[in-house]
Amino acid sequence: MQYSKATAISIKSHPDLNEKWIQRIIAEDPSILGLGDLILKDEERIQVHGGRLDLLLQDAESTDRFEVEIQLGRTDESHIIRTIEYWDEEKRRFPQYEHTAVIVAEDITSRFFNVISLFNGVIPLVAIQMNALEVDDVITLTFTKLLDQRTLGLVEEEEEASEVTDRAYWEKRSTPKIVSAVDELVKMIQNIDESLESKYNKFYIGLAKEGVGKTFVHFRPRKNHLGFVARLSRNEALENRIEESGLDVSAYDVKRGRYVISNMKPEDISEHKELLEDLFRAACTEAGF
């Protein structure tokens, strides 16, 4: 096996390389950024308030979009601000998508890394450092994710331990009739695994096994209806059945891998019993029950 030493080069200082060259490389194969199976949506996208977004990328199987800005050399204040401004403008124009700001630079300094970190969690932002290497007169690029998007925790995940309530709380917040409907749904799950039981939390009714909370299925009772979430890989056959049933289901949440059923009436349970049992069985199986 032969070995060739790679030489690091500065794209900014190189006489033949420039930002447009980097932009074209990424546009031809967005996967090199390490952000998943992305498709090029637009290049040099004109912004309403001025400026051009270098690249707009979209996930092939979801509504996730990435506003990508490229900078040669070191990051600077103006470039970080511009990246966030473009992200904000696209988010306002197309709120039906999930947007993430991405800054790609040769040198993300510790100072600006700290600044970017302050925004992360409030502004979904990814920082990627690119390096150019020359091997035997061939130039290659590497992309290293230095700061990943930090998704703010979901209520059902963070409040599990500290926000426990009881059945009376939910009967007051909802109604005894709706809470009894939740009992029917939990019974279906107990027919799959009898060790699972209801766990009453402040924001939802979840499940527990031996006192330990399980959130792969959880319920949200309201005054006149209820909804529930089932974490489950996308299942086309099951999805078609849900759509044909007439149940109120949101678009599949690809990012969190779950189905969200809303506005269920107590009478819907008996009408769609077989479908609901199959949905819970699939969710239980994926969760290891």
Instruction: Classify residue 264 by its DSSP letter.
Output: E
CA atoms within 13 A on the CB side of 259: 21
Residue 119: what pLDDT?
66
**How do residues 114-133 score in pLDDT, each as one tens digit?**
776 666 567 888 889 998 88
Q: Average pLDDT in the 61-82 region? A: 86
Q: Identify the structural domains of the chain with CATH numbers, from first to last.
A: 7-147 (3.40.1350.10), 155-287 (3.90.1150.200)
As a whole-number percent, the residues of the chain with pLDDT over 90 amount to 38
pTM of the full predicted structure? 0.54
CA–CA dist 7, 87 (Å, integer): 34
Is pLDDT at 263 greater than 80 in this prediction?
yes
Give 142-185 pLDDT, tens digit per residue.
Answer: 899 887 765 444 444 444 444 678 999 999 989 999 999 999 99
Please give the Cα distance from 44 to 39 (Å, whole number).
15
Q: In which band, very low, low, confident or very high, does the pLDDT at 135 lie, cut at 50, 70 and 90?
A: confident
Give the residue with greater pLDDT, 74 vs 67: 67
DSSP assignment of 37-102 equals SEEEEEEEEEPTTS-EEEEEEEETTSSEEEEEEEEEEE--HHHHHHHHHHHHHHHHH-TTSEEEEE
Count other C-beta atoms under 10 Å from residue 79's C-beta: 17
CA–CA gap between residue 227 and residue 190 (Å, rounded): 18
pLDDT above 50: residue 239: yes
SS3 139: strand
> Alpha helices, DSSP H only, in 193-259?
236-245
Checking DSSP bridges between strand 98-107 and strand 52-59, what pairing results, if any? unpaired
- Comparing 268 with 165, the larger pLDDT belongs to 268
